[in-house]
Structure formats: C-alpha cells, structure tokens
Amino acid sequence: MVRSLCDREPAPWANGLGSTTELVGLDENVPGIDRAGGRWKLSVADLERPADFSPLPGLQRTFVPVGASVSLEVDGRLHLLGDGVPLHFDGGSATALIGLDAPCNAVNLMAESAEFDLRVVAAAADAPGAFALIALAESERVSRFDLLVPGGALDDEDLPASLGALITRPSIPRA
C-alpha cells in the first residue's frame, strides 16, 4: 500500500458544495509511482446531493462513482453511470451531478493530457501497464480507496474484487 484515504484530510470543493480527499496531488512525487508522462492527480469525492462541479480547464477528467449509480450532465448531455462505470470528459466542461441513488463516493483522475486513463478491473493482471491501483472495495488486507502499486507485496487474492487501474493509453509509449 502506498497511501490510505483514512490518512489524508478532506478539503472543501472550490464551489463549497462538497468535499474531496486528494490521494495524489498534481505535482506530488509518491514513492513507488512513476510520474513520467505528464501531470495528474487522483482524489476521492464525497457525493451527498446534486451539485455543480468546479470547472477544471486544461485537465482531462475520468470520474468513477463508487457505491451508487449517479446521473451527470456534461455540456448539456445526460450520462447515467452505474456503480464503477467510468466517464471521461474535459475538465473545462459545464458539469453537474444531477442525481444519485444514495450518498456515495467518486474516484476522480484529473490529468493534463488524455494519455492517462482510469479503468475498473477485477485483478491487477487485467490492466497490463498499470502504474497505480486504487481499491474500489474492501478485502481482508486492503481498505476501500487504498492506493497500491502493481507488483507489490500483495497477491491477487489479497486484493478486493474491484480495482481502479491508472494506466497510460496504449497508443502512448511509456518512458
């Protein structure tokens, strides 16, 4: 494990309508995680009620609801997202959470380029080339939203059945 959500402090959204906990900052070096290829950050938001998203021009976003289904409106287009279903969109887009089945969380990957991706997988082997994993469920040895490094001390049987895998898109060579 590289980081645990419970060890990080939540911060209010820029618009004051919610809170988020940053696991990795945009320019933060994290032991064990390769930051080559561009700037990105990873956070976990608490979603309790409909609210507008803070605009993040210049960043590409991947949003993954965890714990409930949600409805997002991005530039006037409705997206119905099930639990664990990622949505990729421009951070500068007018975006609003317009509905949720229940209070839940969302994992957010924000990157300066579209070469980064966040995929939901059942095992680390399902995401070759992943440079970091985030637990989307609990297991005996891993807490939900723990940040992990692939190939670390944990075996697949130690990991939860649902992981977020941070990868670079296959068409982009890694340094």
pLDDT in tens, the chain (175 residues): 688 898 999 998 877 778 899 999 888 888 778 776 678 899 999 999 999 998 899 999 999 999 999 999 999 999 999 999 999 999 999 999 999 999 999 999 999 877 888 889 888 788 888 888 899 988 888 899 999 887 766 666 777 778 888 887 554 343 3
3 state DSSP class of 23: strand
175 occurs within a structural domain: no
56 occurs within a structural domain: yes
CATH number of the CATH domain containing 43 = 2.60.120.10
173 occurs within a structural domain: no
The number of domains in the chain is: 1
- Paired sense of beta strands 163-168 and 60-66, if any: unpaired
Domain that holds residue 123: 5-168
| pLDDT score at 1 | 67
Q: How many CB atoms lie within 10 A of CB 117?
A: 20
Q: How many CB atoms lie within 10 A of CB 66?
A: 23
State residue 163 phi and psi, 5-degree precision: -130, 150
| pLDDT score at 114 | 75
